[in-house]
Structures are given as structure tokens and as C-alpha cells.
Amino acid sequence: PQAASKAAPAPQAMPARTGFVIQLGATDDESKARAILDNAKSRNRTLLADASAFTEKVQKGDATLFRARFGGFDDNKEAIAACGALKRTGFNCFVQRI
């Protein structure tokens, strides 16, 4: 008998994301990107209660960057309002449709 092929994605595969994300920054160190997300979530628990924090690895020329992002916003107005609230607590951010 032949071995069954694996249908499950690799453990590191990212789930598909749709809607809008809030990006707080990008850094050359994934742990720094995670620290940005942790800090934002700890200072804005209610606002980000349903948001999913994640990092996204990107190549910019020879540099590898890790974007610090919150996803889970289905509506542009919701994401813009959340970004505005984050700005009032000292975070830079912008909204992007994905």
C-alpha cells in the first residue's frame, strides 16, 4: 500500500487573512515586532480583544523585515477607528486591505 499524502498544511503555514489589517511597524527582528504587538495589546485590551496579532516576514531588497500587524477587521471604518485609538495611546499605525 502507498503512504497517504499529507493533506494538512505545514505547521508554520499562515492561515489565509482577508479584510483589513492595522500595521504598527516593521523591524529587522521578529521578537521586536512581537514586543510591539504585545505592548499595544496590553495597553488596549478592550479595543484589540477580538483582533489577531501576527508578524509577517517580508524581503525588502537584501533586508528581511517583520511587520507587526493586527488582523480580524472586516470593515474599513472599524480598522480606521481602532488605528485612531492606537494613535491616541502612542502607537503609529496605518490600515491596509488584504
pLDDT tens-digit readout, 35-80:
999 999 999 999 999 999 999 999 989 999 999 999 999 899 999 9
Average pLDDT, the chain: 87
Q: Looking at the predicted structure, is the pLDDT value of residue 30 above 70?
A: yes
CA–CA separation, 90 vs 4, rounded Å? Answer: 52
Whole-model pTM over 0.85:
no
Radius of gyration of the chain (CA): 16
Q: How confident is the model at residue 34 (pLDDT cuts 50, 70, 90)?
A: very high
CA–CA separation, 24 vs 36, rounded Å? Answer: 7
Under a CB-based contact definition with an 8 Å cutoff, are residues 29 and 20 in contact? no
Q: How confident is the model at residue 1 (pLDDT cuts 50, 70, 90)?
A: low
